[in-house]
Amino acid sequence: MPEQTTFDLRSHPHRRYNPLTRDWVLVSPHRTQRPWQGHIEPLPEDVRPRYDADCYLCPGNARSGGLRNPVYTGTYAFDNDFPALHPVSTAGSVIDGNLLRAEPEAGTCRVICYSPRHDLTLAGMSRAEIQRVVDTWTEQYAELGAKAHVRCVQIFENRGAMMGASNPHPHGQVWASASVTNELRRELDAEVEYHASHSSCLLCDYAALESTRRERVVCANEHFIVVVPFWAVWPFETLVLGRRHTGGLDQLSIEERSGLADVLGDVTARYDALFGVPFPYTMGWHQRPTDGDEHVSHHLHAHFYPPLLRSATVRKFMVGFELLGTPQRDITPESAAGRMREVRAAR
């Protein structure tokens, strides 16, 4: 029988529980010692002008759908020229036996240009500029959420060609759908169950715990805290949490929006400083559904999911055991948070 050793999160293989999704992630910290002989991504070039005459998102330019942008000077939101959803759905459904089922889905898709400058990212924008982005997110959530056919407003950003972004101009998207998305529904169910069991909010409790532990905190201020969550799957994944319990961006005060702009600029600048290039990621907000229910258990938060593993040229892929079994990571959340804390944000 093998000799018993004391369990150590920093060196022994183990699995961690995600209370938001009620899934597990396998953590194998000992594997960081193995040599890397896998795929190496080429270093991206990010030398861009302030204005690009060929960019379909720059002010005054023609878009890919044929319409022309106004000469906007701040943020600019417009209906996506090639939307994944349409406001009016078709009638009917398909049910074939016990297994095959399909139904129409209505919705609205929009694009939000963060800045008229082609060469910026959130990391390079001022707090006031990022706050205008936060204000636009808030306005879009309120406007689209008030529509009769909308029950869920998903605000997100794909940053970088590695993440499928077709244009480097600083922008994000809003998809407002008639049904609540899978990931948000899973979180809502977990939050309701936790509140019923503990008479408190899951993410309020988690924000308080991480504020005390500190080892996974990346940056924080009076209103928001950014952590590499204990259950993180992606190597440098982060979770943005409000310190006050709110269900959506529309419930934030002006001071909280300013605080949110501050941490968003901070964490994105740390990403860039850590890897030396504009950092690729998918980022998105999980807000309460706009289906008429209060969803008092839900706590406003955002996820950053970056794909880089060890450097700007080594990418994390979900393959093999992870696709067929359980997600797995080698770099511990504590190690990733420590690296992000230590690097100086270039702001």
AA identity, residue 228? V
Q: For the segment 48-79, what is each residue's pLDDT rounded down to a tens digit?
A: 899 999 999 999 999 988 899 999 999 999 99
Contact 108, 173 (CB under 8 A): no
Q: For the segment 186-234, what is each residue's pLDDT rounded down to a tens digit?
A: 999 999 999 999 999 999 999 999 999 999 999 999 999 999 999 999 9
Q: For the segment 10-29, what is each residue's pLDDT rounded down to a tens digit?
A: 888 999 999 999 999 999 98
Distance between CA atoms of residues 232 and 313, nearest Å: 21
Residue by residue, DSSP assigns 212-269 as HH-TTEEEE-SSEEEE--TT--STT-EEEEESS--SSGGG--HHHHHHHHHHHHHHHH
pLDDT band at 321 (very low <50, low <70, confident <90, very high): confident
The more confident residue out of 325 and 303 is 303
Torsion over CA of 289, 130, 313 and 48, rounded to 10 degrees? Answer: 130
Stated length of the chain: 347
Catalytic residue, chosen from 118, 169, 171, 286, is: 171
Contact 219, 266 (CB under 8 A): yes
| Domain architecture of the chain: domains with CATH | 17-30+185-342 (3.30.428.10)
Question: Is 171 labeled as catalytic in the residue annotation?
Answer: yes
Contact 160, 278 (CB under 8 A): yes
Q: Of 159, 163, 123, 140, whose CA–CA distance to 75 is shortest? A: 140
AA identity, residue 106? A
Place of tokens 């990571």: 329
Distance between CA atoms of residues 311 and 239, nearest Å: 21
At 308 the pLDDT is 79
The more confident residue out of 40 and 202 is 202
The more confident residue out of 198 and 310 is 198
Tokens standing for residue 215: 């080892």
Q: ∠103-108-114 over CA atoms, to 5°?
A: 145
Distance between CA atoms of residues 106 and 239, nearest Å: 29
AA identity, residue 26? L
pTM summary value: 0.91
Residue 281 has pLDDT above 60, yes or no: yes
At 165 the pLDDT is 86
Q: Of 24, 334, 339, 298, whose CA–CA distance to 210 is shortest? A: 334
How high is the mean pLDDT of the chain?
90
pLDDT band at 37 (very low <50, low <70, confident <90, very high): very low
Q: Of 284, 326, 331, whose CA–CA distance to 308 is shortest? A: 331
